[in-house]
Structure 1
Amino acid sequence: MTTMLKAQYNERGPVPQAVIAAVPFERPTLSQGQALVAVLAAPINPSDVLTLTGQYGILPPLPAVGGSEGVGRVVELGPDTQGPAIGQTVLLPAGSGTWATHLVAPAARLIPLPNGADPQQLAMLTVNPPTASLLLSDFATLQPGDWVIQNSANSGVGSYVVQLAKLRGLKTVNIVRRESAIAGVLVQGGDVVLVDGDDLAERVKAATAGAPIKLGIDAVGGKATMRLAGTLTESAVVVNYGALSGEPCIVSPRELVFRDVSLKGFWLARWFRTTPQPQQFALLTELAGLIAAGKLSTPIQASYDVAQIKEAVAAAAAGERQGKILIVPAQA
C-alpha cells in the first residue's frame, strides 16, 4: 500500500518551509463516528504560511499538521458509523490538517460534494469563496448595478469577489499594487482595474463616472485603507479582512467623522465559530454548486506532492505568483 504521509511541524519560525517536513504514519484504526479520507487536493493559503511563522491569530498546539482546507474521498468508515458513502468526494473540516495523503475526520462533519467536479477547484471552497460571499453580503445593502471597490484584487479572495459580484449584478473597482496584475483581474471579469496610489479617489471617480460606492473591501491595511475610504460615498463601510502591508489600518478623522465612513473587520474563523452548522453547510453547498458548474474558479500556479512540502511552502510564500499553490497527493 502507498506510504501515508503528513506535513508536520514541531516548531514555528521565520522561514516557513524550514519548520515543516513530510513524515510517514501508519494507517489509523478508526473509532465509531470517524472516517478515513484520502486527500485529493489542499491549497496553501497566506494564513497557513502565517501559522507556520507564528504570526496568525489562531495557532494550533504543537506538533501540528499543516493545511486548513481541502477535499478528499472517503475510503473507510468506523464501526457503526453513518456518513458519506465510501468513494464520495467530501469537503474536509476547516483546520483539520489537510496537507497529508490521508486524514481521520468526524464523519458527521464531512460535507458531500459533486463527485464529477474538479477536486482542485473544490479544494479551495472553505476559505476564500465564503469570505468573498460574506464580505459582499453582510456589511452593506447592495442592489444590482451598485459598485464595490476592493484592493488586493488579484488575490484568491479578490478573484472570488469579482466573480460573485458579477453573478449578483454588481460592478467592481479593483485595486492592485503592480501593473503586471491588471490583466489577470480583467480576465476574471473585473469592470475597472487600477494600480493603487495617492490619487486613487480621483481616478476611481473618473472610471465610474462618479457613481456612489457603498462598500470597500480592504486586505492591505496601512494607508491603503485610507485611500480606499476616500473613494467611498458618505456613510459607506470599509471592511478589513487582512493586513498584507503588515501595518495597522489608517482612516482619517475626515472619513470617520465628517463623512461617516465606518471601518469594520471580518475574520472567517469567527464566522465558523459563531454561525450555526446548518447555515454554514447551506453557504458552502451553494458555493460548491457554483464551482461544479464552472461559474466560480481561481487560477492555479502549481501543485506539489506531500513529499515536496518544503518546495510547496516556499513557492506559496514567494511574491508575484499568478495563482494558488496546491498540495495534490500522488495517490490522488
Structure 2
Amino acid sequence: MLAAQFSRTGAPADVLEVVQLPDPPAPGAGEVLVELVASPINPSDLLTIAGSYGVKPPLPAVPGYEGVGAVTVIGEGVTHLKVGDRVLLLTAPGTWRERVVLKAASLFPLPPGDDLQLAMLGANPPTAVLLLEKFVSLTPGDWVIQNAANSGVGAAVVAVARARGVRTVNVVRRESAVEDVRALGADVVVVDGPDLATRVHAAMQAAGGDPARLRLALDAVAGRGTRALMRCLAHGGTVVNYGGLSGEPIALDPRDLIFHETTLRGFWLVPWFRKAPPGEQALVFGEVGRLVATGALRTPVEATYPLSQVRAACAHAAREGRGGKVLLVPDGASHP
C-alpha cells in the first residue's frame, strides 16, 4: 500500500518519501480494516516531520495525526460498526497511508456529512471547545479574542463560541482575510497592527460589546502577538497560548502581568486525549459533531492532493496567506 514516510527529521521537501508498505493483515477479533478517505495537513504534522513537536515518533515514521476513514472489513465480534461507516482516525499509527487495522472499541460511526469536513473533526474542533471551557468560565454575552482567526482552530472557535452565545474578536494579519473570517460568523474582525487594543475596544463597543467582558485571549502566534492580545484583555484576564506560528519566543511586558494581573497559560491537545475519560471525550466530540453535521462549523478547504504528491501538499500547507486547509486523499479519489 502507498504511504508517506520520513526516516530523518527536516523540511518535508527534503525528508518525506512516498513508499510502498506491506498491506495490513486481515482484521482479527475486535478489529476493523479502515481505508483512508482524507487527512488534513496540520502545523503539528509539519512540526513532527521537522523534529520540533512535543511528540517524536520512532523513525522511520508515517506522519498524520487525524483524518477520516471508511470501514471496509469487520473482524469477529464487532457489532457497532458496519462496512462503509466513516470513522475518525485519531493518533492512529500515522494517517498518511492507504489503510490500517484498528481496534474497533476505539472507533464510533460518524453522522453523514462532507468527508473533508469530517476529516478535520479530530484536532481543531476539540481544541476550540477545550480552549473555551478549561481556562475561563464564560457565559453568554462574554467575549473572547483570538489571533490566527482564519486558521482551522480559529474557524472552530467562532462556531463553538457562537453556539454558546459567546462573542468573538478575531485578529487577522491581512485585510484580504477580513471578509473570509466574517463569513464564518465572527462578530468583530480587526487587522493586526499598531494600537490593536484601542481599535479592538472601539470595534467591540460599536458592536454593542463591553471590553470589561473580554477575559480570554487565544494565542496561536506567540512572539509579539501574545503581548498584543494580552493588552486587549480586561483586568485579570487570561491568555492561552497553543501555538507558535511566528516561530518566535513569546514576548511579554512584566507590567502587564503584574499591574493588570493577567495570567498566561499553555494548552496542548495530546495530553487531553491521554487523560480524559471516554465520557468527557464523547461529550466534546458530540458537540462538535453536531456543529459539523448542521453546517454551523465548516472549515474552509483550499486544496486536496493525492497521497503520492505529499511533498507538494506540505509545501502548500506551509504557505503563508492560505485561504483554507490542505488535505491528503487517496490516489484516484475525487474531491473538489
Place the TM-score, normalised by the shorter chain, in its bin.
over 0.9
Partner SS, residue 211 of structure 2: coil
Hey, what does 2:294 align to over in structure 1?
Answer: 293
Aligned partner (choices 66, 69, 73) of residue 66 of structure 2: 69
Q: Does 1:89 align with 2:62?
A: no
Q: Contact 1:147 / 1:172 at 8 angstroms: preserved in 2?
A: yes
Judge conservation of contact 1:125–1:287 (CA < 8 Å) in 2. Answer: yes
- Contact kept in structure 1, 2:152 and 2:299, CA below 8 Å: yes
Greater displacement, 288-297 / 123-132: 288-297
User: Does residue 273 of structure 2 align to residue 272 of structure 1?
Assistant: yes
**For 2:13 and 2:280, how far apart are their aligned partners in 1?**
36
1:99 match: 96
Extract unaligned runs of 5+ from structure 1: none
Q: Normalized against structure 1, the TM-score is what?
A: 0.94
- The answer to whether residue 171 in structure 2 is matched with residue 170 in structure 1 is no
Matches within 5 A, 1:239-318: 239-318=240-319
Aligned to 2:200: 204
C-alpha deviation, 1:95, in angstroms: 4.4
Q: Please report how far the alpha carbon of residue 80 of structure 1 lies from its aligned counterpart in structure 2 after TM superposition.
A: 4.5
CA distance in 2, matches of 1:11, 1:78: 35
Aligned partner of residue 202 in structure 1, secondary structure: helix
CA deviation after TM superposition for structure 1 residue 280, in Å: 1.1
CA distance in 2, matches of 1:34, 1:64: 22
Contact 2:80 2:108 in 1 (8 A): no
1:24 aligns with 2:20: yes
Aligned residues: 327
Deviations 1:9-30 (A, max 9, x none): 11111x2132112222333213
Contact persistence 2:5–2:18 (CA under 8 A)? yes
Runs of 4+ deviating beyond 6 Å: none
Give 1:111's aligned amino acid. F
After superposition, give the CA deviation of every residue in 1:65-104 in whole Å (9 maximum; x if it has no partner).
1111011111113344555222211111324311122112
Report the CA distance between 1:286 and its aligned residue: 2.4
From 7, 32, 37, give the equivalent of 2:4: 7
| Structure 2 residue 223 is matched with structure 1 residue 222 | yes
User: How far does residue 144 in structure 1 lie from its aligned partner after superposition?
Assistant: 1.1
Q: SS at the partner of 2:90?
A: coil
Q: How far is 1:331 from its partner?
A: 5.3
- For 1:322 and 1:37, how far apart are their aligned partners in 2? 30
Q: 1:225 to 1:95 in 2, by over 3 A?
A: farther
Q: Deviations over 1:166-190 (max 9, x none)?
A: 1111111111112222121111111
Note if contact 2:30-2:104 (Cα within 8 Å) is conserved in structure 1.
yes
Q: Report what 2:177 is aligned to.
A: 181
1:45 positional shift: 0.4
Aligned partner letter, 2:229 = L
Give unmatched runs, 5+ long, in structure 2.
Answer: none
For 1:25 and 1:79, the matched residues in 2 are separated by 25
Distance (whole Å) between structure 2 residues aligned to residue 81 and residue 95 of structure 1: 19
TM-score by length of 2: 0.93
In structure 1, distance between residues paired with 2:275 and 2:29: 27
Query: SS of the residue aligned with 1:70?
Result: strand
> Structure 1 residue 32: deviation in Å?
3.2
Q: What's the counterpart of residue 327 of structure 1?
A: 328
Conserved? CA contact 2:226–2:251, under 8 Å: yes
Which amino acid letter does the alignment assign opposite residue 134 of structure 1?
L
Question: Equivalent residue of 1:117, what SS?
Answer: coil
